[in-house]
Structures are given as C-alpha cells and as structure tokens.
Structure 1
Amino acid sequence: MKKLLIIGYGKWGKKIVKNLINAKVYNEIYIKTKNAYYQCDFRLIKKKTSIDIPLKKYDRVHICVPTNQHYSVLQNYINIKNLSIEKPLFNQLKFFKKLKKKTIKVNYTDLYNPITKFFFKNVKEEKITTINLDYCGKYFFHDQYIFLDEWLDHPLSLLFSIFNKIQLKKIKTFKIDRVKKLNIFEAILKYNNLNIKISLKTNLVKKRLITLITKTNDKIIYDFSKNKIFKNKKLFYKANTTSIENFFKLRNKRSEKIQIESLNFHKKIFKFKRKILLKSKKELPI
C-alpha cells in the first residue's frame, strides 16, 4: 500500500491531490494542514482523521506550503528519504546555504511532462538556431523583479535541463523588455550561436509552447499544455499521461540522482536570477 503525505492544502496541494487520485499513483493520500489531519478518498472528499501514521511509513512526503514557510517546514521532514517540494524551493540565499539535505525533488511541472524526453532527445545545440518559449496565463506582473522572482524558474528549468552543461558565463546577453499595453514580458538570451527568447503574455487561456527552428528550416513545436508535438504543422506525437503522474512515478534506482539534479538545477536557477537582478540594481534578499 503506497502512502503519500501532502503538507498544505492550498492551490497546488489541491491540484496535486486531484491528479494523483485520478491517476491512481498512490493507494492512500493523507493531507496535513496547520490545524488538522485528513485522509482523502477516491471521490476527492477529505475526511478528518485521528490516525497518526509514523513518517517512515510514507513512501513520499510532498510539501505544498507557501514559499516563505518552506525552510521551517522542511526541518520537520529533513530525514524523509523521498521528499518533494513545490517550486521555488527558497526565495532567500541564506536558506540554500543552511540546507544540509542533498536529495530533494523540486517540482517543475514541464520537466516531468511526458513529451519532455522527446524534447531532450531531439534538441541538439548544433542542429538548431532559435528557441522561442511562449507562455500565456493569468499572470500580471508590474515589474521585472516580480517577473524574475516569481515566474522565470519555469522556462529556465527547461533550458538548463536541455543544456545540462550550460555555463552561465557563456550567456552573452540577457535583457528584459516589457510591452506595457499588451503586458508582455520578453527575456532575450544569447548562448553560443543560439538565439533564445522567453515570452510571457497575460491571457485567459493557459498556453506553454516551445518552438525550435533548425538549420534545415524545420519548425518543431512542443505544446506542453496539450502534451503534443508538431513538426512542420503536422502532429508528430501525443502523450497519454500527465506531468504529475510522471513526477511521482520516478522512484526507480535513479530516484536519488534525479532529486540531487533537481536541487542543483534550482540552485543554478536561483543564482542566475540573482545575477540578473544585481545587474538591474534590484537584489534578491540575502
């Protein structure tokens, strides 16, 4: 009987529970909030329970509390072998320095999307000239500080995963522009001979697209919202599973390695964002 403990039941806690119940990844799902302890059944009904299950009996603990509570909550579960946490891991550098645990899986949804393995397999630096990341959603950021701090982790996690040997010193330019009338943020990167553009637009319809332009002028579109890949406007691949399912199914022999990589990615992303903010004279809190 596989057991999962969710810490916190806000926006992301509810999403994760719903997806996992539909996917039947765990037999028993428990939810711990500030004031109560619940067990969730297959109908998405959470029932208050007094059952006190020892932490070692859980197959995984997943932390879904607000970011400013991550470090304090982590201290209560630091000895759990399989520990997951929602992004961003921390919003202050001092917590990274204090963290002793080496294996934490940080949930970047797109990294666990079923089409991601095709993405990593086919994206070869020497074969492409342009990468455009287009995201739409109900985001509304008033300045570049919030844009960087709250959101940029998503596309950067994909870029750093594709080019896992990426060196920040090789990024020649990084600038952020905003079209105020349309509320569009654009981040422009230049890495070796690659042109990379990250766009975020406020829209009622959620969308996450990555477009690759190859040297042979092929246009490959990865639609992370619909789990589909298109090549030259024709459907190339369609996945049947969800990102959340894949996130929790990665418990094989590589599980610990994946968690270490996940933590290292987050540290790299945090340092990169901080470097950009320092250039713009808006420093993250230390």
Structure 2
Amino acid sequence: MTVPTFRFAPSPNGELHLGHACSALLNARMADEAGGRFLLRIEDIDTERCTPEYERGIFADLSWLGIAWEKPVRRQSEHFDDYGEALRRLIDEDIVYPAFMSRGEARAWIAEEATGETWPRDPDGAPLYPPRDRTLSERERRARMDASAPFTWRLDMAAAMEHVSGAIEWQETGAGPEGETGVVRARPEAWGDVVLARRDTPASYNLCVVVDDAIQGITDVVRGRDLFHATSVHRLLQELLGLPVPIYHHHDLVLGDDGRKLSKSRRDTALRSLREAGAMPDDIRRMVGL
C-alpha cells in the first residue's frame, strides 16, 4: 500500500516568509490528516545564492512553528548526478538541444523578426525562445560547443510533444488561477522551449523537481498557485522520463499589503522578524488563514 507522502521544498537563498509558512503548515497538516509522511527538501541547486546560514534559518523557523520532518533531508546540491542522468536520457532521445543565444540576443532577434506582430509569451509573460538554435545543424552545434561557446540545454517542445500519445493531464485537488480543479489538461506547449540546464547549474527547477519527487516517492504535491501553470511542464517531463504522477494541490498565495506575491526581500513578513517582534506560532497560523 502506498503511503501518502508530502514535501515542503524551500530554497535557502533568503529567509522564510508568511507564504512559505502557509505552504509548510498546509503540507504538514494534510500529511497528518492522511496518516502519511512529511519530508523537507532543500532546493539549493543554485549554489551561488544558497547558503548554510539560510538553511539553518529554515530549520529554526519550521521547528518554531512546531513542524517535524523526516530525516535525512534531501539537498539538491548532493544529487547532481541524478539530474544529469535524466538530462542525458532526454538528449539521447533527441528532444533537447543546445541553445546559444543570450537574453539580449534573443530580444534583438525577436525585435527584428516580429516586426508588426505580437511575439508569443509564456504564462509568466516572458517571450518564447526564438527557433534559430533549434534548426542549427549537428555540425554547427558541435563546432560551437567545442569552441566553448556558452549555451543552455532547452527542451524541443514540438519534438517532445510528438513523443507522448494522448492528452496529458493531472488530478488537481486545489484550484488554478481560473478555478481549474479536478482533472486538468496540461498545456506545456504554452511555455515553448524551456530551459532544462544552464552553464552554471546542472539542471533547472523544472527538471530537478520531477526527478526529486519521483526519487522521494512524493504522492501529493502541495504548493502555491503561482506554480499551477508550470505543472504542465512537469507533467510533460514525467511522461518523457516515465516517472510516477503525484496528485497536485495548488493553494492560495499569501499576498502583501500591495496585493503582490510576497518576496524574501520583504523583512516585514519574514518569520524570524515576526518571531523577534513577539509573534507566536498560533499568530502565524491565523495570519495565513490556517
């Protein structure tokens, strides 16, 4: 029998705020109600911005909230080989390609090619990556790579979609931005050729998260609604890599006074600041609606 398994996966690149508290508390509560497991994962793939100090702060904040988690904690920085193996599988399937254009070059290319037209954008509002590098010959790609030209590995979305049959869906027990719930159809093509690995990091968030969830046996992914649309990419990668599919639950975001998503740069919503100001764990639960 599969044991319900939940996870909270923060990045130690700043202090936890009320939004993180909401997600951690909700995950822990749902795991407890399901008689399941609650895991903590440290998403420190960005080794330049993530620090041990912030990681210790995460442990302190969660302990103060009364949240307990299984040990050992999985740290992404200790599992680069897992992500590299997944990436190699996709490269071998010829659905990933090296992309050499910088952001500035991509913007310039779009400005020239999209004269008088609206260039498509992804759900986050960023322009889709131009098709130029996708059409380079293998000889040209190899020459550039041998010359140490900087590049990222991008998913060839059109080729990837040809590798899957039928509709890609997921079970949503929360709700999307437009109230989407129940069986939701994934639309990864809206993201274009997403980055799967960069020069300075062995894998992107999108690739790491599906590999980690599979390895850790995560059955229920509970996270903020800001990641609802990204689930389409995650479902595609799970299909391509033959990984199990969790149930997804996207919850309301905790917003600031200005109506915007909270940021780690906002000291007034940092859990440590609130604790030092005299707040108690029950105060935090009330503040996040739990």
What band does the TM-score fall into relative to the shorter chain? under 0.3
- What TM-score, normalized to structure 2? 0.27
Which structure shows the higher strand fraction?
1
Which structure shows the higher helix fraction?
2
- What TM-score, normalized to structure 1? 0.28
